[in-house]
Chain A
Amino acid sequence: MISLHSRFIAFMIGIVIIFLILLFVRKKSLEPMYSFFWILIGIFFISVAFFPNIIYLISVLLGINFSPIGVLVISIFGLGTIILHLSTIITKHQRKIREFEKKIALLENKIQINKNYEKN
């Protein structure tokens, strides 16, 4: 069984995560859209603090006898999902930047040509 001590720590971690994320969103250093995952993680921590049996339940569902491994598997899966999600976002931004670079370069060139034309 999980001790009261660790449950308290899990609760505090959950609270801190949610608090930090809300702070970041308020300070506009985190898009509300991306805060979603992190809030979920915070909620997970808090729910583990109140219902520690969640961990056993999940481990059993995954067919794992040693429940700490269940926790690890879930965390790795969750983090992997977040990273993949972020990768797609990076790709989207990269495409956008590429497009901008192209357009700006062409516009600059046009301005240059016009300037030369006016000079002559």
Chain B
Amino acid sequence: MNEKKTLILIPTYNEGLIIEKVISEIKTIFKTENILVIDAYSSDETYNKVKKNGANIIQIDKIFGISLAIETGICFAYENDYDFLVRIDGDGQHSPSDVKNLLDFAVDNKNDLTIGSRFLNKSEYHPNLLRLYGIRLLRKLIKIFYKTEITDCTSGCQILNKKLIKELNNDELFEYSEVGIICKTSLLGMSIQEKFINMKERKTGSSSFNLANSFIYMFKNILVLLSLININFKK
């Protein structure tokens, strides 16, 4: 299993206070140097701190959203021939050892997409009500339209394998989002599996989600979900 090349992808925005800790933890636990931080031109020390820790960093403008950050990561993983792409949030809410377990699980089960779910078990994560009901709605929609049962479709911890990376990289019109990737994967007939992952309360920095943002986020996700169905009909 050690021969598998794994890329750890961390999208960040103003996470200067905790990013060093996250990177060093990942380095000790994963025993890898393949860390790619995608930064949205943070106004704090994130860039310098990541550089100092010797991780690779790419900057993508914030206006394109997190989707382009992840797409860049996917592109990078494809060009450099990585076997697995592990996406972790940069705020230290996922503990790296949990993610390591998730990766082992993904390797053992040969899944194309593995999701760290916060809802399979009791976690410390408490979203606001709008987000919670939004997630439930998305879950229902995915079940109806894609016949895939996902408990946590907006999880920030996802593991992609080589096959899926290749498919996504070749699809020029694909715009990444957590929900979009689930829809796309099930359209391609690839396997998705979930495993519980704990999510700690955020200690530093601020989440990009407030009430208005949550609403926009849900709206976008539902649109993505519905727009991908059309492609399904065309086939």
Contacts and interface: CB of A to CB of B under 8 A. Distances in A.
22 contacts: A98-B64, A98-B68, A99-B172, A101-B60, A101-B61, A101-B64, A101-B68, A102-B60, A102-B68, A102-B71, A102-B75, A105-B58, A105-B59, A105-B60, A105-B72, A106-B58, A106-B72, A106-B75, A106-B79, A109-B56, A109-B57, A109-B76
Contacts of A108: 58
Contacts, number: 27
Nearest to B65: A98
A89 B79 CA distance: 30
Interface residues of B, number: 14
A23 interface: no
B8 to A, nearest CB: 15
A106 B56 contact: no
Nearest to A105: B58
Interface of A: 98-99, 101-102, 105-106, 108-109, 113
Interface in B54-86: 56-61, 64, 68, 71-72, 75-76, 79
B98 to A, nearest CB: 28
Contacts of A113: 56
A36 B64 CA distance: 31
A99 B174 CA distance: 11
Contacts of A98: 64, 68
Contacts of B61: 101
Nearest to A95: B173
A98 B60 CA distance: 10
Contacts of B76: 106, 109
Contacts of A102: 60, 68, 71-72, 75
A50 to B, nearest CB: 46
Most buried by B among A99, A105, A106, A109: A105
Nearest to A108: B58
